[in-house]
Structure 1
Amino acid sequence: MFQDLSLLPIFGIFAAATLVILTCGLRMTYLADKLADRTGLGEAIIGGVLLGAATSFSGVIVSLTAALDGRASLAFSNGIGGIAAQTAFLALADILYRRANLEHAAADLANVFQGGLLILLLSLPLMAMTGPDIAILGVHPISLVLIVVYIAGVSGSREIRIKPMWKPVKTRETAPDEPEEEDHDHRSTWMLLAVFLGLMALMGISGWGLSNVASVMIDRFSLEASVVGALMTAVITSLPELVTTLAAVRQGSLQLAMGGIIGGNTFDVLFLTLSDVGYRDGSIYHAVGTNDIFWLATGLVMTSIVTLGMLYRQEQGPGSIGIESLLILLTYGTAIGLQVAF
């Protein structure tokens, strides 16, 4: 269907899908903050699980659609490239928050734990890609392990919030996660959740359209699938994370901003599980190329920098942002430059 369309409607669908993803992502931030207060789960958990998964939904559809279409590299690079892009968004949020380094002000043990969890989740596909080419019913065992580790990690994050064994040192710049004193939204919690799920559905439809547009562009312009996945579909489907992160920082919900990015990244690793299930020509880990491995390594490096930054907690860095933010932007910019040049 999409292959028969001319360029004008193709770019129209591309623009419309991008706009829907952006608009829904912005609205989701407000709803997630309200749900964090009403459920008592806190901004780090709601940001890392509910908001992180929901804003990644369009990306899920992109990867799954590409995998079902036999485009292994596009499916893989879309998920992994999104992790790199979203981590770079944290550096942009740090630039916006001028009072102190964001990783210092948003100190929360659940976010540090999720950072470590993400490093583990990103390491497992690397093991699969460099190990024997095995598959059970076309699915690599590591894909199932990713689900188990993710669920255990979410449970561990909740346990850490309830009974933390470590606590960050409070400073004058630490922004605590405190519920709003007065809730002006009179809709029920269930109604807020229903609206949230409706926005997720719209993002899923947009993701399906975006995946088909990307496939058309790869074929018509002879583009590298890994570049399209990592730098086009991944960035566009990650725009909700940029919008929600900047909006959360502006409204002072710093743990929500950090948790939304890091938690969204942990959820994004599960793109690989769905892609492996959707890809029917064997294990997807052995159907991708070195460019895809490169973006996986980039995601690991950037996540390690963020996690170390949350532990180091520099209050003020060069230009009033953390040194880790500079390193993140430098790493991401270098990765893009290398991919475009070579």
Structure 2
Amino acid sequence: MSHERIHRFLAEHRPPTPCLVVDTEEVTARVREFASGLPHARLRYAVKANPEPAVLRAVLAAGGGFDVASPAEVTACLDAGAAPEVLSYGSTIKKPADIAFAFGCGVREFTTDAASDVDHLAEHAPGSAVSVRVLVDAPASATPFGRKFGCAPGEAVALLTKAAELGLDPAGLAFHVGSQQLDVTAWEAGISTTAKLFAELAAAGIKPRWLNIGGGFGHSYRESAPPLSAYFAAVRGALDAYFPDSAPELVLEPGRAIVAGAGLIRTEVVLVAWRGEHRWVYLDIGRYNGLAETENEAIHYRLDAAGERGPVVLAGPTCDGDDVLYQHTPCELPLALAPGDRLDILDAGAYTASYSSVSFNGIEPLRTYCLD
């Protein structure tokens, strides 16, 4: 993916490092790629991946909507020009006050996975459309959710039935296969499971209208991810197999796949030191100000720098011992690298600035520039 516009911006403006630069033309292109590959699906961009106003405007201009998880994200999307009808409150963990705020702003779609949350929705978002998130077995992803979200399949029927009894609209079922999912067949288990639940619900007189298959579509970092077309083909195949007569409306919640490739982080080398037999390189960005996804070395970013390379241990700038980016993952940087040199971290548009801390060690959150 070309970063010509980003490099031109960096050359002309030379912003202080570290900084993230996002080309919103790439965001628009990815939203349109989803619309082309799954043309009958509703896309709800996961705002948490990158909530920059210019990113939200680009998603909206390309025809997408938003998956929100807090009052602040609701407000951000509305401020970007979104109508409340294109917002879906996808978090299953929310206070009654959060529900009431979203409902007061016009949001009418919510996801749930617990009986107490259904009670809160009935009280504070009466008549709203509700999807029940189901926990499904899926191949391991780079950043799995474990068992934090989703009810057992057997509970889903009871929860949607309860929602209907309380005056809510039992509109759908939902599942998620984990973030950065590199197995394109991962969605089959969820589609198979929910197809059976659709049949059970129909027998009970409840007819959900949509299936939310979440996000998780992979992006190529140092390891290649399948092309989006492969994910789309696998999803279409599973829908044809398990909903042979009439598939429900499809809802998608991609985040990483929309914005990761649109962003580049420029960082500066702070220190180069030998620790025994290992060359350590310390950057002015680390786990607490933008590279949180290097925890457990889960995401392996590509580093762009010229010159003959050799192995390094890569670390961030803070005085926290856990602020080490790559100690076990092979990482190579130029042998001549010295303090003050600049590096570019590629494919860094997702889950970087939105993860950075407020001021750990007094370091400000990752500064972001968007090219409209």
Shared fold (TM-score, shorter chain, > 0.5): no
Structure with greater proportional helix content: 1
Q: Which has the higher contact order (CA 8 A, sep 6+)?
A: 1
More strand by share: 2
